[in-house]
Chains A and B, each alone.
Chain A
């Protein structure tokens, strides 16, 4: 067992305990909230991707999920490619106009995650046509 898997085991245990605790707390205190089925949720990692969000599993993922997916879909992240400055600008814009909170000490980690895993690739002034699905055009 390498260090990474030990880490994930501990993390998993923490989540489990937390769920049990929150559920317990909810029964006691949170009468105004409805329980929502979570069967469609998959908080696991498959092929390096966090299943629920489609985000790359890498350092900073939990922070990104917590700070970025509260208001908008993770798809807004996964479809974008920005530089470090670009992601910083995006966060600033959301803080100035979209009610995003101060990320505090998490900001650098969030930006590091985004700029590492969702960095731009040079594509020139016009890309070649790729992902062509060939089919026979009938007469």
Chain B
């Protein structure tokens, strides 16, 4: 807080102090605080990410994949997007890490050590799709504020842990329970320890699903620090912000959780459709639950030059929040005609599904291959941007790649 106080005291009126911001404040920083310019030496090494990943923000850290990096059936860490609202915890004391279940609707507040959680409750592994609510935000017009995600804020890794419902039931759930809300060990950007960077949650119905887990492994290994080590709530198919990282507590609430980023325009969209650019009152905004039907072409990489007469394999993944994917089609003529792709079943509920097709082109020239997925309730992806909303969430418009036949 010292740093902010210093700015506050001196910057409002004095020109000189403002100009010196980088160097002057650098000399006055509290011990242990590493300035951004030095901190960001190599995020790819720091987080073990592929060099082709795109850094959107370095304080807080936000990084996304590109479509072709997401070709694996199960997303490995090096291609997994990073989304942070606050600062990553710097020290994790695994031996003394605890999870407290509390809240208005808990029968008896209970605290568990990590080893208790691991030994007391049965382990499960699920492949779970996690997509940032704001994935695709960069395309909205008028633009929406926030990290300008393009298409790469989605992953589908294997998560191993214990069912949240087993832990909640162990502590006891009162009949009036409505929602759960998480607490986590990350810190607010300002360094204000009384302020949570994010504390979101899900209704009891989602909390009690088999696949909603408290995970301690990702793809068979300890969860990487940036993705929530040592304990992460994973609620697949919902905005990934519901899957809190570095979890230290879960409150069973008797009302809709009201933690940080549950109100206002955060992870909420207009309850009824609005015209682009509209101002929407808080009371007219509704919390995003299941993510919409979407797909991504992960092979080939956009920009492929191919020889005339050659057929190519096009493949990718499709997912539909709480639902399944019933169909994926492709078009090489801007939606004039659509052809079915082969579609695989998911590894389990809430995992993405792989699609593929062999695609030929009638002549030389510029083509775009568009993919369109349809969910089990018959909702399909729009080719244009879906309904505008103030924060640019839920862009599930069709993905497309450029191909030139030469």
Q: Which A residues are within 8 Å of any B CB, using their own CB?
A: 11, 14-15, 18-19, 22-23, 26, 30, 32-38, 40-41, 43, 52, 62-63, 65-67, 69-73, 75-76, 79-83, 86, 89-90, 93, 97-99, 101, 103-106, 120, 122-127, 129, 132-137, 139
Q: Write the nearest CB–CB distance from A6 to chain B, whole angstroms.
A: 15
Find chain B residues with CB under 8 A from A79 CB: 56-57, 147-148
Decide if B172 is an interface residue (CB 8 Å cutoff). no
Find chain B residues with CB under 8 A from A23 CB: 27
A-contact 0/1 string along B1-27, CB 8 Å cutoff: 001100110011001111111111011
Decide if B114 is an interface residue (CB 8 Å cutoff). no
CA distance A75 to B77 in the complex (A): 24
Task: Known A23-B27, A33-B29; judge A76-B12 contact (CB<8 A).
Answer: no
- Is B145 a contact partner of A22 (Cβ separation < 8 A)? no
Name the residue of chain A whose CB is nearest to the CB of B146: A80
Find chain B residues with CB under 8 A from A33 CB: 27-31
Chain B residues 106-155 with CB under 8 Å of chain A are: 139, 141-143, 145-148
CA distance A127 to B142 in the complex (A): 13
CA distance A106 to B8 in the complex (A): 12
The one of A32, A120, A135 in contact with B143, judged by C-beta atoms closer than 8 angstroms, is: A120
* Stretch from B91-99, B217-225, B237-245, B301-309 at the A interface: B301-309
- Is A38 a contact partner of B23 (Cβ separation < 8 A)? yes
The one of A73, A101, A126 in contact with B59, judged by C-beta atoms closer than 8 angstroms, is: A73
- Is B264 a contact partner of A43 (Cβ separation < 8 A)? no
- Is A14 a contact partner of B30 (Cβ separation < 8 A)? no
Q: Write the nearest CB–CB distance from A12 to chain B, whole angstroms.
A: 9
CA distance A79 to B58 in the complex (A): 12
CA distance A65 to B55 in the complex (A): 20
- Is B16 a contact partner of A14 (Cβ separation < 8 A)? yes
- Is A123 a contact partner of B27 (Cβ separation < 8 A)? no
Find chain B residues with CB under 8 A from A69 CB: 21, 36
Q: Write the nearest CB–CB distance from B63 to chain A, whole angstroms.
A: 11
B interface residues, tally (CB under 8 Å): 70
The one of B19, B41, B142 in contact with A11, judged by C-beta atoms closer than 8 angstroms, is: B19
Cβ-Cβ contact count across A and B, 8 Å cutoff: 177
- Is B305 a contact partner of A19 (Cβ separation < 8 A)? no
- Is A43 a contact partner of B23 (Cβ separation < 8 A)? yes
- Is A36 a contact partner of B58 (Cβ separation < 8 A)? no
Find chain A residues with CB under 8 A from B4 CB: 70-71, 99, 101
Name the residue of chain A whose CB is nearest to the CB of B260: A97
- 5 CB contacts below 8 A, A to B, read A65-B21, A72-B60, A122-B141, A129-B401, A132-B302
Task: Known A33-B30, A98-B190; judge A66-B35 contact (CB<8 A).
Answer: no
The one of B38, B55, B146 in contact with A40, judged by C-beta atoms closer than 8 angstroms, is: B38
The one of A40, A67, A80, A129 in contact with B302, judged by C-beta atoms closer than 8 angstroms, is: A129
- Is A99 a contact partner of B37 (Cβ separation < 8 A)? no
Find chain A residues with CB under 8 A from B16 CB: 14-15, 18
CA distance A103 to B302 in the complex (A): 45
- Is A126 a contact partner of B139 (Cβ separation < 8 A)? yes
Find chain A residues with CB under 8 A from B35 CB: 36, 38, 41
Decide if B53 is an interface residue (CB 8 Å cutoff). no
Q: Write the nearest CB–CB distance from A10 to chain B, whole angstroms.
A: 10
CA distance A120 to B145 in the complex (A): 11
